[in-house]
Amino acid sequence: MKKITLFVISMLFLALGTVQAQNFGVKAGINFSNINLDYDAVDGVSVPFQDPSSTWGLAAGFFYDRSFNDLMGLRAELLYSMKGSGKYNDISDEDLKLHYLSLPILLKVNVIKAISVEGGVETSFLVKSDNTTLDAITWDPAKLDFGLALGAYLNFTPKLELGLRYVHGVLNFADADLIFTDNTGAAVDVNWNNTNRTLQATLGFKF
C-alpha cells in the first residue's frame, strides 16, 4: 500500500506543475464488470466454482482535465461507480452489486486531434454492497479497492467526448478464506484471490 500511496501522491504533484489549459466536465455511462476468481490449488480439493458472469451498473460523476502542452495532460475524476458480478454457475439468482465512490487519476496523451489515450490508477471507496451472499458464500467486501486503468477517448467536438476504459483490480474486493473438504474428509482452508474487472463506456461534456 505504501507504493500505491506514493504513486498517487506523485501524480497529484504532477497535476500542480506547469499548466497550459484546464477544463471541468461531467460524464455518465455504463460499467460492465465481474469478479475474477482465483485460488491456491490444494491437493485433493475440488472447488466447485468458476468465474461468475458479468453484470452492468451505472457510472457518473465529474472530471478535471489539466493540459501541460499539446501532447500531454492529467485527468482526475470523482465518480459514482457500480461494480460486481453476475451469477455463479447459474445457481444464484441475484447479482452481486458493489457501490463505490471512485477517484481515477490518469495521464492523458493526445494521439491525434480527435483521439486521446490514458493510463493511471483508480482508488475506490465502498459506499454499500447488495446481495453479498451468493451460492452459499457470504462475502465481506473491503472498504478500499484499487486498480490500474487504461483507456481511450474519441473527441467529437472540443466539448463532447466518448470514453472507453478498462480497470484491472489488484486488491481483493472481499475477505474470502473458505473451508472445503478434501478427498479424505478433512477440512481445508482455501485462500481465494478475488478482484474487480471493469469495462466502462461513458459520454462526457466539458464546460
How large is the average pLDDT for residues 6-33? 73
Cα Rg of the chain, angstroms: 20
Averaged pLDDT of the chain: 81
**Burial level of 23, CB count in 10 A (0-12/13-18/19+)?**
middle
The predicted pLDDT at position 10 comes to: 57
pTM higher than 0.95, yes or no? no
The predicted pLDDT at position 38 comes to: 73
CATH number of residue 189's parent domain: 2.40.160.20
The predicted pLDDT at position 25 comes to: 96
Which span out of 87-101, 172-186, 189-203 was modeled with the highest average pLDDT? Answer: 189-203
Number of domains in the chain: 1
Distance linking the first and last C-alpha atoms of the chain: 35
Residue 92 in grid coordinates: 444464484
The predicted pLDDT at position 92 comes to: 54
Instruction: Count Cα neighbours of 42 within 13 Å in the Cβ-side half-sphere.
Output: 18
Range of the domain at 114: 2-206
How far is the C-alpha of 102 from the C-alpha of 118, rounded, in Å?
Answer: 17
The predicted pLDDT at position 139 comes to: 73
